[in-house]
Amino acid sequence: MNERLLDLLRHGEVQGGARFRGDQDDPLSDLGWEQMRRATEPAADWSEIISSPSCRCADFARQLAEQLGLPFSLEPAIAERGFGAWEGLAAYQIPPDELSRFWDDPVGYTPPDGEPFAEFRDRVRQARHDILARCGEHPLLVTHGGVIRMLVAETLRMPDEAILLVEAPYACFTRLRILEAPGRPSLVFHRGQE
């Protein structure tokens, strides 16, 4: 049975601190760059590097691809979930009752003008399918916490409601093993910075 590996790397710390950033395109901090360098050393035997278009992912991914001499591409479908009116806000800036509803029910509660969970889930699932259909044996996806949570939860067959139980800290590095049908994908490792 043929197997492939799919590596996922979350961006590092972003300038401006912890905030809801879906579409908001803030760059990495100096620490964020260092976190991502540490997470990718030593480099794995990747076939290519695919990145979210957000600069907090793409700037590092492009540089890494150039350094390693690997093909590089942007994939809009692995962008973070859109948070609508919450874009750029820190948790303390969001009305506590709204924030509680989101933490308690991330599937059923959508931030005002945000991307509904079902649309986000379907977008990420389709992106995974499309990437695996067209890519080499071991791509690296440089992406966001929400995308990584979604892919890990799907691999582990977790219910949608459990997605926030998967932590994905800055520069979290995850490896999934992908098997041909009837095989099932598996989580090889999921680790953050120490």
Domain count, the chain: 1
Closest to 25 in 3D by CA, of 56, 65, 48, 2 = 56
- Among all chains, which residue has been given the structure tokens 């609508």? 84
User: At 59, which CATH number?
Assistant: 3.40.50.1240
Render pLDDT for 80-125 as a digit per residue (tens, 0 to 9): 999 999 999 999 999 999 999 999 999 999 999 999 999 999 999 9
Round to whole Å and give the CA distance between 84 and 21.
9
Three-state secondary structure call for residue 73: strand
Domain residues for the domain of 27 are: 3-191
Global confidence as pTM: 0.95
Render pLDDT for 47-63 as a digit per residue (tens, 0 to 9): 999 999 999 999 999 99
Report the DSSP beta bridge partners of residue 10: 143
Q: What is the mean pLDDT of residues 8-31?
A: 94
Cis peptide before 42 (omega within 30 of 0): yes
Task: Answer for the pair 14, 26: CB distance below 8 angstroms, yes or no.
Answer: yes
